[in-house]
């Protein structure tokens, strides 16, 4: 049996972060939560592993832009695939930062979001995503 893929959820809205983590866990992922980019970086630099990062862009302290810029500077973290969640359609998301695998625009359908995340792990798609 394969171990669950870890998804680091970086979202400042507590309720949305909780809902995302619950949905990901129910889909067979191992969610890890952070309230902003600074907390996410601390977790990653202290040894927390992530197979993918799901991040909001607009957050206090360190936003998703600054977080992705820091990821890009760290060879050990730059390779982690990033999915951006944004409420601003057409927002410039690639400037000087870690590459973005996918962009999901708010508001979004929770089931569709989980399916999009699963689609980025094709080897596991044959058994329900995990």
CATH of the domain at 112: 3.40.50.2300
Q: Are strands 102-105 and 82-86 parallel, antiparallel or unpaired?
A: parallel
Q: Provide φ and ψ at 122, rounded to 5°.
A: -60, -30
Q: Is 111 domain-assigned?
A: yes
Q: Is the pLDDT of residue 26 over 90?
A: yes
Average pLDDT, the chain: 86
pLDDT digits (tens, 9 = 90+) for 76-96: 999 999 998 887 765 555 554
Domain encompassing residue 18: 6-121
Q: How many helices (H) and strands (E) does the chain have?
A: 5, 5
Q: What pLDDT, on the 0 to 100 scale, is given for residue 93? A: 58
Model confidence at 51, pLDDT cuts 50, 70, 90, reads: very high
Q: What is the pTM of this model?
A: 0.86
Q: Is 33 domain-assigned?
A: yes
Q: What pLDDT, on the 0 to 100 scale, is given for residue 128? A: 43
| Count of alpha carbons within 13 angstroms of residue 127, beta-carbon side | 9
Q: Is 128 domain-assigned?
A: no
Tally the domains of the chain. 1
Provide the b/e sequence for 3-22 (b: ≥16 CB within 10 Å): ebbbbbbbbbeeeebeebbe
Model confidence at 103, pLDDT cuts 50, 70, 90, reads: confident
Q: What pLDDT, on the 0 to 100 scale, is given for residue 95? A: 53
Q: What pLDDT, on the 0 to 100 scale, is given for residue 29? A: 97
User: Rounded mean pLDDT of 122-126?
Assistant: 59
What distance in Å separates the CA atoms of residue 14 and residue 76, rounded to the nearest whole number?
A: 28
Instruction: Determine the distance from the C-alpha atom of residue 101 to the mean position of all C-alpha atoms in its chain, rounded to a whole number.
Output: 10
Give the angle subtended at the CA of 44 by the CAs of 54 and 83, to the nearest 5°.
15
């Amino acid at each position: 049996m394969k171990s669950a893929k870890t998804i680091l959820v970086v979202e400042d809205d507590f309720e949305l972060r909780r809902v995302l983590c619950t949905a990901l866990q129910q889909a067979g992922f191992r969610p890890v939560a952070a309230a902003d980019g600074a907390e996410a970086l601390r977790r990653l630099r202290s040894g927390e592993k992530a197979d993918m990062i799901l991040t909001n862009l607009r957050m206090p302290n360190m936003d998703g832009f600054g977080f992705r810029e820091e990821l890009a500077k760290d060879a050990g973290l730059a390779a982690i695939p990033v999915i951006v969640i944004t409420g601003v359609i057409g927002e410039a998301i690639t400037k000087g930062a870690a590459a973005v695998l996918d962009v999901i625009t708010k508001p979004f359908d929770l089931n569709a979001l989980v399916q999009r995340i699963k689609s980025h792990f094709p080897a596991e798609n044959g058994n329900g995503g995990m």
